[in-house]
Amino acid sequence: MASVLIHLSYIHVFLSSFLVFTFCNLPFSTLASTVLGNETDHLALLSFRAELTSQEANQVMASWNESTHFCNWVGVTCGKKHRRVIAIHLQSMELSGSLSPAIGNLSFLREVSLFNNDFTGKIPSEIGRLSRLRSLVLANNSFSGEIPANISGSLNLVKLDLAGNHLVGNIPMQFQSLSKLQLLFLYSNNLTGEVPRFLGNLSDLRRISALENKFYGNLPDTLGRLTNLTFIGFSANKLSGTLPLSIFNMSALTNIDLADNMIEGELPSDMGLNIPRLKVLNIAGNKLTGVIPVSITNASNLVRLAGNGNGFTGRVPNFDGLQTLEWLALNKNQLGSGEAGDLSFLSSLVNCTELYLVSLVENNFGGTLPKSIGNFSNLVTFALGVNQISGNIPPEIGKLAKLESLFLGPNQLAGSIPSSIGNLGKIRRLSLSGNQLTGTIPSSLGNLSQLINLDLGYNRLQGQIPSTVAKCETLQLIDLSYNNLSDTIPRDVFGLPSLSIFLDLSNNHLTGPLLLEKGDFENLGYFDVSNNLLSDEIPGSLGSCTSLTFLAVAGNLFRGGIPQSLSSLRAIEVLDLSRNKLTGQIPDYLGKFMFLTNLNLSFNDFEGKVPEGRVFKNASEVTLDGNSKLCGGVRDLQLPRCGTKHAVSRVLKVAIPLSCGILLLILAFFYVFVNKRRLAKKISDPVLFQNEEEEQTSRIHQASTHKKYEKINECLTSILRIGIACSMELPRERMNISDVTIELHSIRDTFLGRRTPREENRQINDEMI
């Protein structure tokens, strides 16, 4: 036993001596660099932590403390050999603050990912000291200022992602030294200047995305040198000029995204032959012209073709070879000729089994819809509006079981709406407006349980609105305006709680009352039933539609007053109650609506004083024509002053009795005069009065009678003139009350043969002379 213990003690001494020897013979520089390096990383990380300001940083980075080695801190990765920091991954941690320049002291750092936080301030130029850095991802933060040119010092950089910040200025020229760069993401910033030509020298570049910046000028042809480039994206900039032909010779390209610029010219006729791997061609929103090359069908891997918003003309080529096509958007061009056969290319898409969007809106397409569209089994959006398409809607359209959006108007489609449209169980938006469709609205629309928007306006549809529409419990918008619909509005339609955007039933022949109940349409913003034959009173339950901004019931047969309950419509901006049979006073609350800017109450029978608040202060915002009993308001409304009404009443109180008295006197005179002559004829013998004296008396009597007729005619003419002067519409044109009184007294005196005060004064003056 003792010998064993002695043996173990020898081994212990030997091992201890070996370790001491080994430690003592290590180079001092290696030991010192390891210790000092660790401390440098430690201090750099503490500086990094000190710049963070958010509460989330305190929670997420609670492990960053002295009790734990920094290699075990959250988001920190160290190398196994030297225990130096080689990576920082703190993406989506809700961190805020600035990025410490001390990050440049982490000399072993290879990867930095601070993606999706809220870092602010400038990107520290000290990052350029990180010679081992391969990936720098600072995307989706709030960094500002220019891109530091010193980043070019990180010569091993493979990925540089600065997207989604507020960076300005140019791409630094020094970046041409980043010969190993493969991925460059600069999108969604405010970078400017021309796209640098030196990018064509970065031969390893695979993807470059600089969407949504302010780059201008031509796209450099040097990009054609990048034989490994698969993605080029400069959409939403200010690029101009023509597309360099070299781009269409890059056989590795899978994505070309140059939309929303000002690029001009035509697409090369052989473009589809040299980019066989192309999957996405997005050239929408430019100024490209010419035809769509037939060779595009050779790009057999094409998934998305977006050429909308350009000036392409001519026929659309067949797409037989594009069997992987999913997205075809050629809207807002000048394609087609308005003749039959324009849509023949649609039949060539039958083999595109994954096709889910076809948008050809705003072109010159004519012809009819082919029945083959029923074979687009995966189609989700089909938009052909604003063309010249004629014929009927093929019933086969009901086979598109996955269709969510159908836009076929305006066109020149005729005939009835096929009942098969009720088979589109997933349809959410249905627009057939602006056509020449006839017949009734099919009741099968009630099967569309996911329908949100229904637009059948501007057609020639007739009959009643089907009550089955109320089964579409997700409807938010209904437009049936400008048709020939008749009968009453189904009560069930008013009960749709989902209607929150738009209900337009105007310009039809709808009759009966509005069967609106309290609580209906609480979320509706736009309600128009104008130009129908609706009657009864405006329902007070409209007051519960508190979200309304637009309300029009004009051109109907509504009677009664404006309901007091409408005072609850505090969000209203446009209110049109014109051309009805409304009566009573205009309620004061209309002048208290803060957002009301267009009020039309014209051609009703309102009376009384016009309110003076808000909208009534601006004559350009209110229309009151055709209401003869209104008074007051601003001068531009040209209504009589309410005080003038009482003055006119006083005139009438004086003028009417006085005029009646004069007329009675005239009638009495005629009565006496006529009866006198009759009596004279009865008691007189004509033979006895043939002497000369009686002849003379008869002549005198005739002359006197003639003068009396002239006096009567003069008085009646004067009274008629006063009556006309008192009935003028504008107050300033009416005769003054004092003048009326004087004139009537003068007429009375003239009729009775009295001298007027003016004549008596004139006689006195003559006598004095």
Q: How far apart are CA 580 and CA 675, in angstroms?
A: 56
Contact indicator for 541, 523 with CB cutoff of 8 Å: no
Position 430, amino acid: L
At 498-515, the pLDDT tens digits run 999 999 999 999 999 999
The DSSP string of 311-338 is EEEEPPPP-TT-TT--EEE--SSEES-S
Distance of CA 284 to the CA centre of its chain: 22
Contact indicator for 397, 418 with CB cutoff of 8 Å: yes
Neighbours of 752 (CB within 10 A): 10
Strands 381-383 and 414-415: unpaired
Q: How far apart are CA 451 and CA 89, in angstroms?
A: 45
Q: How far apart are CA 504 and CA 528, in angstroms?
A: 5
Contact indicator for 287, 293 with CB cutoff of 8 Å: no
Residue 310 is given by DSSP the state S
Contact indicator for 185, 209 with CB cutoff of 8 Å: yes
Show Cβ contacts of residue 462 under 8 Å, excluding neighbours closer than 6 positions.
Answer: 438, 439, 440, 483, 484, 485, 486
Distance of CA 573 to the CA centre of its chain: 15
Give the pLDDT of residue 34: 47
Residue 678: its H or E element:
helix 642-683
Q: How far apart are CA 90 and CA 113, in angstroms?
A: 6
Low-confidence stretches of the chain (pLDDT < 50) are 1-34, 645-657, 660-661, 664-665, 667-697, 700, 730-732, 757-758, 760-769
Least Cα distance to 167 among 151, 156, 153 occurs for: 151
Q: How far apart are CA 114 and CA 99, in angstroms?
A: 10
Give the pLDDT of residue 492: 92
At 564-608, the pLDDT tens digits run 999 999 999 999 999 999 999 999 999 999 999 999 999 999 999
Provide the residue count of the chain.
769
Give the pLDDT of residue 727: 53
* Residue 25, CA distances (Å) to 14, 19, 41, 301, 699 in order: 17, 10, 26, 65, 168
Q: Which domains does the chain have, with CATH numbers?
A: 40-239 (3.80.10.10), 513-639 (3.80.10.10), 656-768 (no CATH)
Position 688, amino acid: L
In a 3-state reduction of DSSP, which class is residue 12? helix
In a 3-state reduction of DSSP, which class is residue 622? strand
Neighbours of 529 (CB within 10 A): 23
Q: How far apart are the first and last CA of the chain?
A: 177
Q: How far apart are CA 472 and CA 480, in angstroms?
A: 15
Give the pLDDT of residue 273: 92
Token digits of residue 579: 């051309």
H helices of 225-286, where?
271-274
Q: Calculate the CA dihedral of residues 710, 712, 718, 722 and round it to 10 degrees.
A: -160
Give the pLDDT of residue 57: 78
Residue 524 is given by DSSP the state -
**74-97 per-residue burial string, b: 16 or more CB within 10 A, e: under 16:** ebbebeeeebbbbbbebeebebbb
